[in-house]
Chain A
Amino acid sequence: MLRFVVRRMLVMVALLIVISMFTFAMFVLLLPNGNPAALLAGRLATPAEIHLISVRYGFDKPIYIQYIDTMKNIFTGQAYSYQSSFNVLDEIRAGMPATLSLAIGAGLIWLLVSILFGTIAAVRAGKYADRVLTVLSMIGVSMPPFFFGAILIYYVAYKANIIPIGGYVPFSQSVGGWFGHLVAPWITLSILFIGFYSRVLRSSILDSINEDYVRTARAKGLSERQVLIRHSLRNSLIPIISLWGLDFAQVIGGGAILTETVYNLHGVGELARDSIGRLDTITLMEIVILTGIAVVVIGAIVDVLVAYLDPRIRLA
Chain B
Amino acid sequence: MSATEPPLLEISDLRVAFATEDGTVQAVDGVSFTVSRGEVVAIVGESGSGKSVTAMTLMGLPRGSNATFQGTATFDGTELVGASDEQLRRIRGAGIAMVFQDPMSSLDPVYRIGDQIVEQIRAHERKISKAQALDRAVTLMERVGIPRAAERLRSYPHEFSGGMRQRVMIAMALSCSPKLLIADEPTTALDVTIQAQILEELRKLRDETDAGVILVTHDLGVVADIADRVIVMYAGRVVEQGVLDDIFYDPQHPYTWGLLGSITRIDSDRSQRLPAIPGMPPSLLSPPKGCHFRPRCPHAFEKCVEVPPLEGHVANRPESLDRCWLTEDRKRALRQVDGQVGLRSTEPVIS
- Chain B residue at smallest Cβ distance from A216: B106
When C-beta atoms are compared, the residue in chain B nearest to A312 turns out to be B158
Known contacts A212-B105, A213-B105, A216-B100; A222/B89 CB under 8 A: yes
**Given A221-B94, A221-B124, A223-B89: A215 and B107 interface contact (C-beta under 8 Å):** no
Assuming the contacts A210-B63, A218-B92, asked whether A235 and B110 have C-beta atoms less than 8 A apart, the reply is yes
Which chain B residues in 50-97 approach chain A with CB under 8 Å? 59, 61, 63, 85, 89-94, 97
Is B214 located at the chain interface by the 8 A CB criterion?
Answer: no
Chain B positions within 8 Å of A234 at CB level: 108, 110
| CB neighbors of A among B233-287 (8 A) | none
Of B61, B85, B100, B102, which one neighbours A224 at CB under 8 angstroms? Answer: B85
Check A216/B119 contact, CB under 8 A, given A221-B92, A221-B124: no
* Interface residue? A217 (CB, 8 A): yes
Q: Is B325 an interface residue (CB 8 A)?
A: no
The yes or no answer to B199 lying at the interface (CB within 8 A) is: no
Does residue A220 face the partner (Cβ distance < 8 Å to B)? Answer: yes
The A/B interface has a contact count, at CB < 8 Å, of 75
Q: Flag A224-258 by CB within 8 Å of B: 1 or 0 each.
A: 10100011001100100000000000000000000
Whether A213 touches B106, Cβ cut-off 8 Å, given contacts A218-B61, A221-B94, A224-B85, is: yes
- The verdict on B109 contacting chain A, using a C-beta distance below 8 Å, is yes
Q: How far is the CA of A219 from the CA of B63 in the complex (A)?
A: 12
Give the docked Cα–Cα distance between A291 and B258 (Å): 70
List A contacts of B85 (CB < 8 A): 224
Q: Does A310 contact B (CB under 8 A)?
A: yes
* A311 on the B face (CB < 8 A): yes
A249 CA / B327 CA spacing, docked (Å)? 79
CA distance A49 to B273 in the complex (A): 94
Is A309 interfacial (CB 8 A cutoff)? Answer: yes
Residues of chain B with a CB closer than 8 A to A60's CB = none
Q: Tell me which residues across on chain A come within 8 A of B89, comparing CB atoms.
A: 221-223
A310–B94 contact, CB under 8 A? no
Minimum C-beta distance from A230 to chain B (A): 8
Cβ contact within 8 Å between A219 and B156: no
For the complex, what is the distance from the CA of A250 to the CA of B174, rounded to whole Å?
Answer: 50
Known: A213-B105, A224-B85, A312-B158. A219 touches B110 (CB 8 A): no
Chain B, interface size: which category?
Answer: 20 to 34
B120 CB–A CB distance under 8 Å: yes
Bound CA span A234–B108, Å: 10
Most buried by A among B61, B97, B109, B124: B109
Q: Which of A209, A230, A234, A311 has the most CB of B within 10 A?
A: A311
Minimum C-beta distance from A229 to chain B (A): 12
Neighbouring B residues of A238 by C-beta, 8 Å? 110
A309: min CB distance to chain B, Å = 7
* Pair B105/A211 contact, Cβ less than 8 Å: yes
A219 adjacent to B123 (CB under 8 Å): no
B324 / chain A contacts, CB cutoff of 8 Å: none
Contacts of B59 in A (CB 8 A): 218-219
Q: How far is the CB of B4 from chain A (nearest CB, A)?
A: 30
Contacts of A309 in B (CB 8 A): 110
Q: Mark A279-316, 1 if CB is under 8 A from B, else 0.
A: 00000000000000000000000000000011110000
B120 contact from A220, A231, A235, Cβ within 8 A: A220
Q: Is A219 a contact partner of B61 (Cβ separation < 8 A)?
A: yes
The answer to whether B105 touches A235, judged by C-beta atoms less than 8 angstroms apart, is: no
> Is A212 a contact partner of B63 (Cβ separation < 8 A)?
no
Residues on A with beta carbons closer than 8 Å to the beta carbon of B61:
215, 218-219
B43 within 8 A of A: no
B321 interfacial by beta-carbon distance below 8 Å: no
Interface core residue of A220, A224, A230, A238 (most chain B CB under 10 Å): A220
Shortest Cβ distance from residue A1 to the other chain B in the assembled complex, whole angstroms: 16
Q: What chain B residues lie within 8 Å of A224 (beta carbons)?
A: 85
CA distance A311 to B172 in the complex (A): 21
Contact assessment for A310 and B110 in the assembled complex, using a CB-CB cutoff below 8 Å: yes
Which of B91, B97, B123 makes the CB contact (< 8 A) with A222?
A: B123
Contacts A220-B119, A221-B92 given; indicate if A212 touches B110 (C-beta within 8 A). no
- Pick the contact of B108: A210, A213, A219, A221 (CB < 8 A): A213
Cβ contacts under 8 Å, A213 to chain B = 105-109
A194-218 toward B: CB 8 Å interface, digit per residue (1/0)? 0000000000000001111101111
Residue of A nearest to B109 (CB): A312
Measured between beta carbons, the chain A residues less than 8 angstroms from B140 are none
Closest to A223 in B: B89
Chain B 304-315 interface mask (CB, 8 Å, partner A; 1/0): 000000000000
Q: How would residues 143 to 184 of chain B score, 1 for a CB under 8 Å from any chain A CB and 0 otherwise? A: 000000000000010100000000001001000100000000
Contact for A311 among B91, B109, B124, B176, CB less than 8 A? B109
Give the distance in Å from the alpha carbon of A238 to the alpha carbon of B110 in the complex.
10
Q: Does B215 contact A (CB under 8 A)?
A: no
Across the interface, do B109 and A231 meet the contact criterion of CB distance under 8 Å? no
Query: Whose C-beta in chain A lies nearest to the C-beta of B172?
Result: A220
What's the minimum C-beta distance from A192 to chain B, rounded to whole angstroms? 29
B123 near A220: Cβ-Cβ < 8 Å: yes
Chain A residues positioned under 8 Å from B14 (CB to CB): none
- B98 near A: Cβ within 8 Å? yes
Given contacts A222-B89, A311-B158, A312-B156, 20 further A-B contacts (CB under 8 A): A209-B63, A212-B100, A213-B108, A213-B109, A215-B63, A215-B106, A216-B106, A217-B108, A218-B61, A220-B123, A221-B90, A221-B91, A221-B92, A221-B93, A221-B124, A222-B123, A223-B89, A230-B119, A231-B108, A312-B109
Which 10 residue pairs across A and B have the least CB separation, nearest first? Answer: A221-B93, A212-B105, A220-B120, A221-B92, A220-B93, A213-B108, A311-B156, A212-B106, A221-B123, A219-B98
* Interface CB pairs A-B, < 8 A, 6: A212-B100, A215-B106, A218-B92, A219-B61, A221-B89, A309-B110
Residues in chain A within 8 A of chain B (CB atoms): 209-213, 215-224, 226, 230-231, 234-235, 238, 309-312
Question: Which residues of B are at the interface with A, using a C-beta cutoff of 8 A?
Answer: 59, 61, 63, 85, 89-94, 97-98, 100, 102, 105-110, 119-120, 123-124, 156, 158, 169, 172, 176
